[in-house]
């Protein structure tokens, strides 16, 4: 069992039930060219887990059967899965909105020289992590040289029209706090990011998403080692925003792990909290011809991270 789970599972978080399913978020590899401190997946270059072509075919079958509107690809660095481009192409042929959660530095990796052009050609929405517009802060959180490589990736995307008005090529950035604190107000931080990145580096983007760090995996272990786990959890609970409760992403999203197992959200996936608190894991092929609307969602104390302050989801603040 995940080391954080015993400290999270006895929860008073308000119950949740599913609405209409619109989004599949697929973690198609844990392999990554970075090892970020805040990563709730604990991805790194040493990880080898990746979704097979057969599992991707099952994923596409569920998309066809359920009328899914959005395919959200994450990892790790999802682009490192050897079938990434085939999956993107198949989803776009079906008319889906496709999101690539890109760490930016992958665009400069050997063998990925044409990746930015592929994303633009397929009109994939890029959601890219950039925890600050200052070099030192980014390198502390993500490693030496990451900021410069991230800027290079942003310039590649801008040159293809990403982030530019009228192109329809969406480039959104993601901010995570460096430590056990809540993100600042999203709208104000977005204005600062847009101003500083344009003035300092000539870089444009569409929106900034602020996402609360979850007390699980690598970040959760860091909190435990520093004696900050309980105080951070209390902060999340103290900042509970009831208005965010009905808008959390898990009500319309399913998270699919690399092996085809399905969870209520990406965070539950990492904690191995089975879909709807079932006793056994649920696989993609078990959901065909099945409507999940109205079914319960598995919750634990980490869910307070999605409802603290402005609320938080993979699409940023909830209000």
Please write the tens of the pLDDT for every residue from 240-287: 999 888 889 999 999 999 999 999 999 999 889 999 989 999 999 999
Confidence at residue 2, expressed as pLDDT on a 0 to 100 scale: 53
18-67 pLDDT tens trace: 999 999 999 999 888 766 655 556 667 788 899 999 999 999 999 999 99
315 belongs to a structural domain: no
Beta-ladder partners of 27? 74
Q: What is the dihedral of CA 261, 262, 267, 272, to 10 degrees?
A: -50
312 belongs to a structural domain: no
Confidence at residue 8, expressed as pLDDT on a 0 to 100 scale: 77
Give residue 135's domain range. 5-307
Confidence at residue 162, expressed as pLDDT on a 0 to 100 scale: 98
- The residue behind tokens 């998403």 is 209
Confidence at residue 1, expressed as pLDDT on a 0 to 100 scale: 41
316 belongs to a structural domain: no
Q: Is there a contact between 19 and 252 (Cβ–Cβ < 8 Å)?
A: yes
125-178 pLDDT tens trace: 999 988 778 776 666 665 567 888 899 999 999 999 999 999 999 999 998 887
110-119, 128-137, 171-180, 217-226, range with the lowest pLDDT: 128-137
* Percent of the chain residues past pLDDT 70, beyond the cut: 91
CATH number where 227 lies: 3.20.20
317 belongs to a structural domain: no
Confidence at residue 259, expressed as pLDDT on a 0 to 100 scale: 96
Per-position b or e across 212-237, b if 16+ CB within 10 A of its CB:
bbbbbbbbbebbeeeeebeebbebbb
205 belongs to a structural domain: yes
The count of C-alpha atoms lying within 13 angstroms of the C-alpha of 179, restricted to the half-sphere facing its C-beta, is 6
9 belongs to a structural domain: yes
Q: Total structural domains in the chain?
A: 1
319 belongs to a structural domain: no
288 belongs to a structural domain: yes
């Amino acid at each position: 069992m995940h080391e954080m789970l015993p400290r999270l599972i006895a929860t008073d978080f308000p119950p949740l039930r599913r609405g209409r399913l619109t989004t599949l978020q697929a973690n198609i590899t844990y392999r990554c060219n970075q090892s970020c401190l805040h990563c709730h997946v604990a991805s790194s270059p040493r990880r080898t887990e990746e979704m097979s072509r057969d599992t991707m075919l099952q994923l596409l079958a569920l998309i066809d059967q359920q009328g899914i509107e959005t395919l959200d690809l994450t990892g790790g660095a999802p682009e490192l899965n050897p079938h990434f481009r085939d999956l993107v192409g198949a989803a776009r042929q079906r008319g889906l909105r496709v999101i690539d959660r890109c760490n930016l530095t992958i665009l400069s990796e050997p063998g990925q020289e044409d990746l930015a052009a592929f994303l633009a050609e397929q009109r994939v929405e890029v959601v890219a992590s950039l925890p600050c517009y200052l070099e030192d802060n980014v390198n502390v959180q993500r490693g030496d040289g990451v900021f410069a490589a991230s800027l290079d990736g942003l310039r590649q995307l801008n040159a293809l029209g990403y982030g530019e008005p009228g192109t329809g090529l969406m480039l959104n950035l993601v901010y995570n706090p460096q430590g056990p604190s809540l993100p600042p107000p999203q709208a104000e931080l977005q204005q600062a990011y847009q101003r500083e990145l344009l003035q300092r580096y000539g870089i444009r983007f569409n929106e900034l998403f602020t996402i609360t760090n979850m007390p699980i995996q690598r970040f959760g272990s860091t909190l435990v080692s520093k004696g900050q786990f309980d105080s951070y959890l209390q902060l999340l609970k103290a900042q509970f925003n009831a208005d965010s409760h009905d808008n959390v992403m898990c009500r319309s999203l399913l998270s699919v792990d690399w092996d085809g197992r399905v969870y209520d959200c990406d965070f539950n996936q990492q904690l191995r909290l089975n879909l709807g608190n079932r006793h056994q894991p649920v696989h993609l092929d078990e959901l065909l011809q099945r409507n999940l609307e109205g079914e319960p969602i598995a919750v634990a104390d980490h869910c307070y991270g999605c409802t603290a302050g402005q609320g938080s989801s993979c699409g940023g603040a909830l209000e």
